[in-house]
Amino acid sequence: MATPKILVLGAGYGGLMTVKGLTRRLGASDAEITLVNQNPYHYFTTELHKPAAGTAHHDHARVNIASVINTNRVNFVVDRVTSINPSEKKVYLENNTFDYDHLVIGLGSAPETFGIKGLLENAFFIRNIDSVRMIREHMEYMFARYKNDPKEEYLTIVVGGAGFTGIEYIGELVDRLPELCREYDLPQEKLRIVNIEAAPTVLPGFDQALIDYAVEYLKGKGVEFYLGVPIEECTKDGVVLKGGEEIKSSTVVWTGGVRGNKLVEESGIETMRGRVKVDENLRAPGHDNIYVLGDSSLVIPKDGERPYPPTAQISTQQGQYLGKHLPQLMRGESVDAFQYAPKGTVASLGNRVAIGVVGSKKLFGGSASFMKKIIDIKWLFLLGGISLVLRKGKL
């Protein structure tokens, strides 16, 4: 019998954990494993708000994939997936085509724009290394322009959405801006960070005491909040809010949410808002040999109605699950259902302050920040052991 072919798409949190688990459990005669990713590196999405603000270099948020996987066992292909065809059991790349017996899709997410006019054309997105490098360089260029042509919009940064991404990015900005003011000879009182949130509160659904702490801290640093009012349009001059108010800004960063990678819905696999409601073994409905994990998947808790939010935490656990159980599933054996074990949520507000809930304990300020750094280090350890922690970890 021919050696089964496992094709893993995307080297994010889910994809990499899958591959690392499979290489530990399957010998060369058990399966041929191919991993496809559009870059030779993996980026730590959970740290992208730092290079976006310029508080860390983008190299701190990425690692060479070949250095953390066993390339003797995995055929690692750097290429972009252009389409997935389940009926042919083929995946098309820009420069190649692969067929598979078992497919694991971990292609992450895309920005959710809710059809808001002008967003895709005029806003920036905290998505990957290329997009955050552009945000930082654009922001700094606008500051440089102000010295030559003092328009207020050059110094106004609008952040659309006050979910965890928006709030963590703003936390980095408040750390970074005093330094940039010195560098660009700018009056700090002229700088504006404006956060606009459609819901009545920032971090909707999170613990109220932690929300209050974050808002008070960020307001104390000069951040302006517009709550309960959605952005309805984004233009080259700024944003227009419901009711017609316009806020002029040369730098609009959209953090209003994510949806599944569009390649998945285009493949004909059934999706809900671009995400696949997977079965208890992370299989796509109606496809015994296709598994979906991470931001492109949707897992609904047994006793709940709303799906778990898309996080690195659940993506990692899904990857660990498939890395362990895919060999048995391939053989048609039954295995325990995937069960997500949430460990808590911690969000940074810059380098030294954070908020979070771990177990039943609420954490504020320095202790939460320390916990956030431990969580980031844990990912480095899972990925590349102690040597990666020593190279990239920061306390």
User: Is residue 326 involved in binding ligand NAD (CB under 6 A)?
Assistant: no
CA distances from 87 to 35, 91, 112, 222 (A): 20, 11, 28, 55
User: Which of 37, 156, 249, 255 is the binder for ligand NAD (CB under 6 A)?
Assistant: 255
Stretch that binds ligand FAD, among 23-31, 38-46, 155-163, 355-363 (CB under 6 A): 38-46
Q: How remote is the C-alpha of 373 from its chain's centroid?
A: 17
Dist CA 120 CA 23 (whole Å): 39
Q: Does 376 bind ligand NAD (CB under 6 A)?
A: no
Residue 257 binds which of ligand FAD, ligand NAD, none (CB < 5-8 A, kind-dependent):
ligand NAD
Our finding on whether 296 is near ligand NAD (CB under 6 A) is no
| Cα 173 from chain centroid (whole Å) | 18
d(CA 181, CA 285): 53
Whose tokens are 């990015």? That residue is: 169
Please give the DSSP secondary-structure letter assigned to residue 8. Answer: E
Mark the segment that binds ligand NAD (CB under 6 A) among 94-102, 130-138, 171-179, 251-259. Answer: 251-259
> Do 10 and 74 contact (CB within 8 A), yes or no?
no
Residue 279 structure tokens:
């079965």
| Single residue of 14, 15, 51, 230 touching ligand NAD by CB under 6 A | 230
Residue 162 lies near ligand NAD (rule: CB under 6 A):
yes
Respond yes or no: is residue 168 known to be catalytic.
yes
Q: In the complex with ligand FAD, which residue's Cβ is closer, 21 or 294?
A: 294
- Binding partner of 48, given ligand NAD, ligand FAD, none, CB within 5-8 angstroms per partner class: ligand FAD
> Smallest gap, in angstroms, from Cβ of residue 188 to ligand FAD?
25
Q: Please give the residues from 123 up to 142 whose contact with ligand FAD meets the rule CB under 6 A.
A: 126
Give 274's contacts (C-beta < 8 A, 6+ positions apart). 109, 110, 259, 260, 261, 262, 264, 265, 296
Q: What are phi and psi of 13, to 5 degrees?
A: -60, -45
Kindly indicate which of the ranges 180-188, 261-269, 304-312, 330-338 contains the residues binding ligand NAD, using the contact rule CB under 6 A: 304-312
CA 395 to mean position of chain CA atoms: 21
d(CA 116, CA 190): 29
| One-character DSSP codes across 208-242 | HHHHHHHHHHHHHTT-EEEES--EEEEETTEEEET
Q: For residue 113, how many other CB atoms are within 10 A of its CB? A: 18
225 part of the interface to ligand FAD, by CB under 6 A: no
Out of 9, 196, 214, 326, the only residue in the binding site for ligand NAD (CB under 6 A) is 196
Nearest to 80 by CA among 131, 39, 42: 39
Using CB under 6 A as the binding rule, whether residue 311 contacts ligand FAD is answered as: yes
| Between 12 and 238, CB nearer to ligand FAD | 12
276 - beta bridge partners?
A: 297
Q: Are 368 and 345 in contact (CB under 8 A)?
A: no
Least separation in angstroms between residue 347's CB and ligand NAD is: 4
Which residue in 32, 47, 153, 168 is the catalytic one?
Answer: 168
Piece of 171-179, 196-204, 277-285, 384-392 that binds ligand NAD (CB under 6 A): 196-204
If binding is defined by CB under 6 A, does position 113 make contact with ligand FAD? no
Residues found near ligand NAD in the complex (CB under 6 A): 114, 116, 160-166, 168, 196-199, 204, 230-231, 255-258, 309-311, 345-347
Residues that bind ligand FAD (CB under 6 A): 10-15, 36-39, 42, 45-46, 48-49, 80-81, 106-108, 126, 165, 168, 261, 263, 294-295, 310-313, 315
- Residues tagged active-site: 168
